[in-house]
Structure formats: C-alpha cells, structure tokens
Structure 1
C-alpha cells in the first residue's frame, strides 16, 4: 500500500514539474535571450525586437550569443551537423517544411520536446514538436554550437 502511494506521489510530482518545465537552458544566456524576445510580433523579413520572421529570430538569438548564422532558414539548414531527434539538445536548430517546397521554417530546440520560434500567427512563442502540425512538417535538426559553446551557454 505504502509503495503504491509513494509511486503515485512521485509520478504526480514528475508530471507537475514537467508541465512547468520551460527551457532546459533555464537561467542560461540562451534562455534569457529567448525570454526577452517572447511575444515579439511576426514580421516578414524581420530581424529585430520590432518583429521577427523565423530565421530572423534564430539569427538574432545566436548573434546575442556570439554565433553567426545565415539569414534564411534554408541556408541555416546547410550549416552545422545533423542530429537525430534522440540526440537533440537545447540550442539545436529544428527545421520544417511548411510550404511543400523544402525547408521553410526554423526554430531553436529548448528541451522537453519543445522549440522556440517566430510563428506567423503568434509571434515568438514556444511550441511542442509533438503537435500534429509540427510533427507532420518536421525535416530535421542541426547542431550549430560546439560542445564547449553549449556547456558555456547552458551552465552560465
């Protein structure tokens, strides 16, 4: 009986913590940059806090971290090393085909199956990779940051 109650309590706590979990980069440099941009409106061609398109947002975040990214999502897809869904870590770029013509959307994986991106309907937001819309359009992920950069940005 006690074992069942303990197991239920642990599962409940785990579930509650996962609901509140944001970025695995909590309080890191990357998390702070993303947080500062949350809610920024979508603007085609936008690259600033006055409005972002998807690749403008990813480029802005990485620029604030001292990492240079290409301007367009398709060009960003040509950068870095491919990683599987199982290997993804916060800071990896995730790519989608939203137009039927190849890479057309990019976001930043933040952990817990979620990514930050500039949505044309919601502006800068966090979405789940498991949402049908994104799951059906997912192309892949690329690792841009070296392990040293990742550790530096994730731990500071």
Structure 2
C-alpha cells in the first residue's frame, strides 16, 4: 500500500479536503489501474470476469475502505449519499455522468485536480482521466 501511494500522481500534494477515508478509497481503486473494463465486472470482493465496470470499481473501493455496500449500478449508486457541487468534490467522492433518462450511465472516484479514477468502457482499462463535462458529485461519508 505504501509503494502504491508513492506512485500516485497526487502523492504529497496535500490537496484541499483530503481525508484518510477518501485517500483509502482512491488508493484501493489505484491498485487496479490497467485492469480491463468488463461489463458487469466487479463487486465488493474485487474484480470478476477479469476486470471491473465503472460501478463494480466504485463498489469495491468504497466497501474495502469503509464497509459501506453500494448498490450495483451507477443509476442506483446515485441515490446514496449527498449531492455536492462538483467544485467541492474531494478525493474519494463519487462523480457521475453520461446522464440518461433513468440517471447516470457512468460513475468514477474523484481523485482531485479535476481527475477521476474509473473503468471507462469496452476495450479500455481502469485508468485516471479528466472528469467529464456535466458530471455531478456525491459525498458518501
């Protein structure tokens, strides 16, 4: 865990609002950088079918860091916690986007600096990327 944190692009930055719990959520997701996106993949126990989808990654990282079980999909995870302005998001908060009539089609874990760790889509891998335009944030803890 110590070495994974040292390799984090945000190590030592002391980003505003960082909490130990938020850092742990991010650290746990970072363990899987480069793992393939698998639709329906992952849960509180870790990857399944060889990878994670977006909500599987958030379910795993949040549960492993806090013991909080999230619902399975990005649409149902949106109902957990409290919505906050995206500009107040801090590492470990969830960010939601790709809005559809039934809610968000995507979820990631905010890591600071306008970036998130997420499992984007078919043919991609768990990675760090910019928060999408129109994303909204929720604080779980």
Given that 2:95 and 2:107 are in contact with CA atoms closer than 8 Å, whether structure 1 keeps it comes out as: yes
Given that 1:21 and 1:112 are in contact with CA atoms closer than 8 Å, whether structure 2 keeps it comes out as: no
Given that 2:92 and 2:109 are in contact with CA atoms closer than 8 Å, whether structure 1 keeps it comes out as: yes
- 2:124 corresponds, among 122, 125, 146, to 122
TM-score, normalised by the number of residues in structure 2 = 0.74
Q: CA RMSD in A?
A: 2.4
Q: How does 1:43-122 map to 2 (within 5 A)?
A: 43-47=38-42, 48-49=46-47, 50-65=50-65, 66-97=67-98, 102-120=103-121, 121-122=123-124
More helix by share: 1
TM-score, normalised by the number of residues in structure 1 = 0.68
Larger CA Rg, structure 1 vs 2: 1
Aligned to 1:30: 25
**Is 1:142 equivalent to 2:138 in the alignment?**
yes
Given that 2:57 and 2:119 are in contact with CA atoms closer than 8 Å, whether structure 1 keeps it comes out as: yes
What residue ranges of structure 1 are gaps of 5+ in the alignment?
Answer: 1-19, 146-156
Provide the aligned length of Structure 1 versus Structure 2.
Answer: 120
CA distance, structure 2, for counterparts of residue 74 and residue 41 of structure 1: 22
